[in-house]
Amino acid sequence: MVTSIGIVGLGLIGGSLARRAAARGYEVLAWNHTPRPYETARRDGIQCVETLEGLAQARPELLILCNPLKAMPSILARLAPAIDPDVTTLSDVGSVKGMVREQVSQAGLGGCYVGAHPMAGNEHSGFEASDPALYDGALWAITVDADTEYRRFADVARFITNGLGNELIVLDDATHDRAAALISHMPHAVATAMINELCASPERNIAAALAAGSWRDMTRVALTDPNRTRAMIDEDRTNVEVLLRSMAARLLAFADDLQHDDGVHGDAEAAIAEFFSAGQSFRDFKAQTARGKQTVQGESQLHETTLDIDPARWQSELLESAKQGERITRFLDDRRVTIRRQPII
Amino acid sequence: MVTSIGIVGLGLIGGSLARRAAARGYEVLAWNHTPRPYETARRDGIQCVETLEGLAQARPELLILCNPLKAMPSILARLAPAIDPDVTTLSDVGSVKGMVREQVSQAGLGGCYVGAHPMAGNEHSGFEASDPALYDGALWAITVDADTEYRRFADVARFITNGLGNELIVLDDATHDRAAALISHMPHAVATAMINELCASPERNIAAALAAGSWRDMTRVALTDPNRTRAMIDEDRTNVEVLLRSMAARLLAFADDLQHDDGVHGDAEAAIAEFFSAGQSFRDFKAQTARGKQTVQGESQLHETTLDIDPARWQSELLESAKQGERITRFLDDRRVTIRRQPII
């Protein structure tokens, strides 16, 4: 069982993670690209290390990369000769997983790597904005491949559940990145296209004057730094491209249906009805989830079960479990976990 | 100057309007399709009338249709023989304007009609949810055509500004309906397409598990009653169709750029940069508007001016003013108004 954690990068995500782990009794070592946060971090029980190489050489059992994605190649190049892969398992918190694994493998560290992506964050940044509570209720996606050693996965997963008190799902990189494109990267592109549509209109000031909640909510993410959005989409570009083509096809098909729905073409009327009913299972899911949040603690226990993880096919078994809306909440021993069932779509 | 107001329909919008007008000293008469709200309404000083025909025959100077759009044709048919168009100016609060004017004209009431659409509302409905404060800070769009009599427009506009304390812009029906499609009806279709995209994915439960603020905000309007959304889009279908095709073209072009941005095609890189900068004037506008809200009352007066409305070309003059981000805040006399300038895009 892991007891020492190394953190690379004391920004909002890494700083909050370091503080939460320290508060929960882990030995936490950290390095940051500037020593600015060290004084405050030390007061939170975080051992700050002067060099990145020094952090790796301190041989933490788990070393978590919380640096920006664009710094990943240079950081991995510096870590590679300093890490002892027999002792240290490498992980990260990046929002895309395929690209990170590729970079880790290119640095020769693929054998000791388990990917991770916590669903946590806010609009702030930097250690001064960090807060152990940022991870309250956070779900983590753990990404593995066929070569991932089970013991390394279990170390990371147990740290997240039993250690940090969070829940997790297990995915492969491709599934993670497709899902992230669907619920975040593609929508960011759509929101951007929508404000571009407004700005291209000669009546943009009138439209903006009439705008209410629907417009505000649907364009909010287009107002954040466009360079950050551009980088995020670029890192997951293949999935975003596929989804944008699919969305464009949906919008065109619906436009055709609107054009042909003249009371004569019954097909168009049926297609329009289908357009408005196709997402009903998501509406039901949201209503169920909202109701679920109102149930008392005791009731939610009803959706808990245990699972004995099959050592021969754990990757596919846990991916299938995630697809069924299940989350791992706790390790009971090395192979036995508790599972919480969510409403499904 | 108008002193008596008739309200057709005491729902959320009509009820709040009736109560605000009564509180501000107008004689308010109202009819509702059921007498259920009458007892409460009477306590607010609203004179409730037993029949729709009776309301028209009471000869209010301004009669405002606040009924659902789908009831419009039958209500207009009943009003037509009962209205005295020399005394009464007819208006409405519908969210599409071209269709309503057509129905009003078909009922033979086009000559006494001035369209109106207040940007007010919330997720509730019915008189029990009504509140005069619903109109606090509301902007109204007034729609006119070449045949609109200036005195009728001025009566409606003066009631809204000097009477209700609201601001307004003056549009033609087509401009209003295109703008409404851009900032509301098209985005509703896009949000619906987005939840359809999720539901079509074999990994929908994983995607939903990873979903955060961007997905929640961009799909919120797809969770409301899809039949209402369908009706809203249907009423403005031609404009929605055009915008959906334009949005699809934007998404496809961006997908092509992502595909071709391989470090070799400089064009694709430039197009991607353009995709993320094209909406910058809207980002700047939002930042300016947010700052504007923080300025003290005195400063905002700096953006006020007066306008003498030209009787020969008032429709086009006021449309142009709206396109420049200006709003009418008050009538100083029949033809002289104060104007407030908003930041422009």
- Give the domain ranges of chain B: 4-171, 177-278, 285-341
A177-278 is a CATH 2.160.20.80 domain: no
* Cα gap B65→B129, rounded to integer Å: 19
Assign domain A4-171 to its CATH superfamily: NAD(P)-binding Rossmann-like Domain (3.40.50.720)
Q: How many beta-carbon pairs below 8 A join chains A and B?
A: 308
**Under a CB-based contact definition with an 8 Å cutoff, are residues B73 and B102 in contact?**
no
Q: What is the dihedral of CA B78, B79, B80, B83, to 10 degrees?
A: 150
Structure tokens given for A212: 């209410």
Predicted confidence at residue A294, as pLDDT, reads 63
A 10 A CB-CB count for A48 gives 20
Q: For A124, phi and psi rounded to 5 degrees? A: -90, 175
For range B285-313, the mean pLDDT: 79
pLDDT of residue B263: 75
Q: Is A80 on the interface with B (CB under 8 A)?
A: no
In residues, how long is chain A?
A: 345
Q: What does DSSP assign to residue A220?
A: G
Nearest 10 degrees: CA dihedral of B201, B205, B207, B209?
A: 170
* Interval B72-107: pLDDT, tens: 999 999 999 999 999 999 999 999 999 999 999 999
Q: Are strands B62-65 and B89-92 parallel, antiparallel or unpaired?
A: parallel
Do the Cβ atoms of A27 and A5 come closer than 8 Å? yes
Which residues does residue A171 pair with via DSSP β-bridges, in sequence order? A143
* Under 8 Å between Cβ of B20 and B132: yes
b/e for B100-112, b at 16 or more Cβ within 10 A? Answer: bbebbeebebbeb
More confident residue, A337 or B296: A337
Closest-CA residue to A227 (of A252, A192, A254)? A192
Contact across the interface for A199 and B229, Cβ inside 8 Å: no
DSSP H or E segment with residue A330: strand A326-331
- Within 122-151 of B, beta carbons closer than 8 Å to A belong to 139, 141
Cα–Cα separations (whole angstroms), residue A156 to A31, A44, A141? 20, 22, 11
Start-to-end CA distance of chain B, whole Å, equals 36
Residues of chain A with pLDDT under 50: none
Does A174 contact B at CB distance below 8 Å? no
Q: Which residue of A has its CA nearest to B122?
A: A213
- For residue B296, the model assigns a pLDDT of 53
Q: What would the mean pLDDT of B188-213 be, rounded to a whole number?
A: 96
Query: In degrees to the nearest 10, what's the CA dihedral of A26, A32, A35, A36?
Result: -90
Closest CA–CA distance from residue A190 to any residue of chain B (Å): 7
Mean pLDDT score across all residues of chain B: 95
The distance of A24 to chain B (nearest Cα, Å) reads 25
Residue A16: what residue type? S
Is B203 near chain A, with CB under 8 Å?
yes
B174 CB near a chain A CB, below 8 Å? no
At B265, the pLDDT band (50, 70, 90 cuts) reads confident
Place of tokens 């799909």: B219
Q: How far is CA B260 from the centre of its chain?
A: 41
Q: What are B23-76's pLDDT values in tens digits?
A: 999 999 999 999 999 999 999 999 999 999 999 999 999 999 999 999 999 999
- CB-based contacts of A8, cutoff 8 Å, min separation 6: A14, A30, A31, A52, A55, A63, A64, A65, A66, A67, A75, A79
Q: How far apart are CA A215 and CA B218, in angstroms?
A: 9
Percentage with pLDDT > 90 across chain B? 90
pLDDT at position B302: 59
The ipTM value here is 0.93
Q: What is the pLDDT of residue B262?
A: 80
Per DSSP, the residues of B70-111 read: GGHHHHHHHHTTT--TTTPEEEE--S-SHHHHHHHHHTT-GG
The length of chain B in residues reads 345
Q: How many CB atoms lie within 10 A of CB A125?
A: 14
Residues 6+ apart with CB under 8 A from A65: A8, A9, A72, A75, A76, A90, A91, A92, A93, A94, A100
